[in-house]
Structure 1
Amino acid sequence: MIRFSIITCTYQAASELPKTLESVLHQRYRHVEHIIIDGASTDGTKDIVERYIQANDDNEDCIHRVVFVSEPDKGLYDAMNKGLEKATGNYVVFLNAGDTFPSTDTLEHIAGCVGEGEAHPGVLYGDTDIVDDTGVFCVVAVYPLHENLLGVRSVTAC
């Protein structure tokens, strides 16, 4: 079974974080670990994450493992690296504060693209829906296969 490590980096984003956490909590795919790296926010982020962890624990259908770290860091990339150090999944997804999955079956769809075989692609990528501050769709950012990846045998676009 494919396991996803979702890394959410946040700092002083208490107003944006709940929609990201809800987006992960409502994913139908069950083999998920959610790693939340907070740069020691003082805006109530810790309380929001603790409520999320409780909601996750109370949800009988959800088996997401949640890891939460709140400590000073040296910025976004330091936080991302801290998340990577804790990740145990087959694939890593960066879904930062304010970001959401487009639907509740996003991870399920990606896992279906990969399949259940022994050989898994080394890189997965896809297009990105760009939305405005109210969540209204604006445009799709299309990412074609990069020429440096063409020599790699196991790249999958979902």
Structure 2
Amino acid sequence: MKPKISIITAIYNDKENIAATIESILNQTYENIEYIIIDGGSTDGSIEVINKYLNNKPKYLKHNIDKFISKKDDGISHAFNKGINLSSGEYINFQGASDILDNKYAIEELFKDVDSSFDLILGRIKRVSNDEYNKILYFSKKYKRNPLDSLLWKMNIPHQGLFTNKRFFQKYGLFRLDKIYSMDYEQLLRAYKDRKNLKILYKNIFISRWKEGGIGSGKTKEILKEYHQNRVENKIANKIVLYYVYFWSLFKFYTKSILLKIIKGK
């Protein structure tokens, strides 16, 4: 039997986008899907939209919302952890309230000839504009070697394209509640020193469209600082190397910012 996939969506006040997210998941051709929605106590009508799919799902949709909780939480990490604890799938994936699976065959293609033996399974994502056009801003890069190797320098494994075996969470733990911007990065860094022993599968298949914006929008300096803290706390290299990586990241950020200002000023 094909592995069971638990897809978790954390939402708080995103009435305008949640329906498209839900439909992209419930419309998947892959048979063995569990869909879990964790709402943080939305007040904008998001719950009413979700309830429409719970109580009167359109007949053209293949799957159901299997579990739904609406209760105030302590942020995205807390919501993700709730979803993991509720899940019964062998692999877990996270799609945000404005993320959309790329097409109805995405998961079926990714899991073709795949069993439950992998620790991590990765596809690619498209970063799209937060407007009616959903213009593609960039594609996540192809991986030419172990994807975890590059975690020393940056986080380039978007959770929208990552399917994590549940035993990975059992071994390395859940997401930390004190991480605001990079809970997924920090969690992966716990496995950094074991990366050569992990069984990882990458397929050049687009899984999700990740809409720009979100909690980290306009917070690059704060994100880089939290990335640095994550690397130091997990001791993935000596401190000289880690500070070099941090200051190099800041240098690139400021250089890019200055160049953009010059270009816009012309």
Give the TM-score of the pair, scaled to structure 2: 0.54
Q: CA separation of 1:155/1:86 partners in 2, compared to 1, >3 Å: closer, same or farther? A: same
Structure 2 counterpart SS, 1:49: helix
Structure number with the higher helix fraction is 2
Q: Is the 8 A contact 2:37 2:65 kept in 1?
A: no
Structure 2 counterpart SS, 1:97: coil
Q: CA separation of 1:64/1:112 partners in 2, compared to 1, >3 Å: closer, same or farther? A: farther
User: What residue in structure 2 maps to residue 16 of structure 1?
Assistant: 17
Q: CA separation of 1:153/1:79 partners in 2, compared to 1, >3 Å: closer, same or farther? A: closer
Shift of 1:94: 0.2
Q: CA separation of 1:95/1:23 partners in 2, compared to 1, >3 Å: closer, same or farther? A: same
Shift of 1:43: 1.0
Q: CA separation of 1:43/1:87 partners in 2, compared to 1, >3 Å: closer, same or farther? A: same
Shift of 1:120: 1.9
User: What residue in structure 1 maps to residue 120 of structure 2?
Assistant: 123
User: What residue in structure 2 maps to residue 94 of structure 1?
Assistant: 94
> 1:50-89 CA deviation, whole Å, 9 max, x = no partner?
1112354x63872445200000001111111111111111
Q: Structure 1 CA distance, aligned partners of 2:55 and 2:43?
A: 20
Structure 2 counterpart SS, 1:9: strand
Q: Higher RCO, 1 or 2 (CA under 8 Å, sep at least 6)?
A: 1
User: What residue in structure 1 maps to residue 75 of structure 2?
Assistant: 75
User: What residue in structure 1 maps to residue 251 of structure 2?
Assistant: none
> 1:90-114 CA deviation, whole Å, 9 max, x = no partner?
1111001000111110110111052
Mapping 1:39-78, distance limit 5 Å: 39-56=40-57, 59=59, 62-64=62-64, 66-78=66-78
| 2:225 pairs with 1:156 | no
Q: CA separation of 1:153/1:85 partners in 2, compared to 1, >3 Å: closer, same or farther? A: closer
Give the TM-score of the pair, scaled to structure 1: 0.88
Partner of residue 146 from structure 1, selected from 137, 142, 148: 148
Q: Which moved more, 1:140-149 or 1:43-52?
A: 140-149
Shift of 1:150: 4.7
Structure 2 counterpart SS, 1:126: strand
Q: Is the 8 A contact 2:37 2:67 kept in 1?
A: yes
Q: Is the 8 A contact 1:13 1:45 kept in 2?
A: yes
Structure number with the higher strand fraction is 1
Q: Structure 2 CA distance, aligned partners of 1:64 and 1:3?
A: 14
Number of matched pairs: 154
Following TM superposition, the consecutive aligned residue runs of length 4 or more in structure 1 with deviations greater than 3 angstroms are 58-61
Larger gyration radius, structure 1 or structure 2: 2
Q: Structure 2 CA distance, aligned partners of 1:39 and 1:108?
A: 30
Stretches of structure 2 that go unaligned for 5 or more consecutive residues are: 150-191, 204-266
- RMSD over aligned CA atoms reads 2.0
Q: CA separation of 1:143/1:85 partners in 2, compared to 1, >3 Å: closer, same or farther? A: farther
Q: Structure 2 CA distance, aligned partners of 1:126 and 1:60?
A: 26
- Identity level (%): 25
